[in-house]
């Protein structure tokens, strides 16, 4: 299925629930982890996530990035 926004990478809620159940049954990781570093299911609100964007940092000539 395709996400309502058209992004095929994000399954819709019903598909996420099915994927989470299958992943729990087989012990496969989703690529998401909880606050303790354990594998976690797909987040219920992933379809509301927005990419973080910011202004590019302009450095002076020769200035190190960190």
pLDDT in tens, the chain (66 residues): 444 555 677 888 898 888 878 777 776 777 888 888 777 887 888 888 887 777 777 888 888 877
Does this model's pTM top 0.85? My answer is no
pLDDT at 1: 46
DSSP code of residue 6: S
pLDDT at 27: 66
Q: What element of type H or E holds 40?
A: strand 39-40
Residue 33 near residue 39, CB atoms below 8 Å: yes
């Amino acid at each position: 299925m395709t996400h309502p926004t058209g992004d095929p990478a994000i399954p819709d809620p019903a598909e996420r629930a099915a994927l989470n159940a299958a992943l729990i049954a087989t012990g496969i990781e989703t690529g998401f982890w909880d606050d303790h570093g354990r594998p976690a299911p797909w987040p219920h609100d992933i379809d509301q996530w927005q990419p973080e964007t910011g202004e590019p940092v302009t450095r002076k000539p020769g200035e190190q990035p960190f």
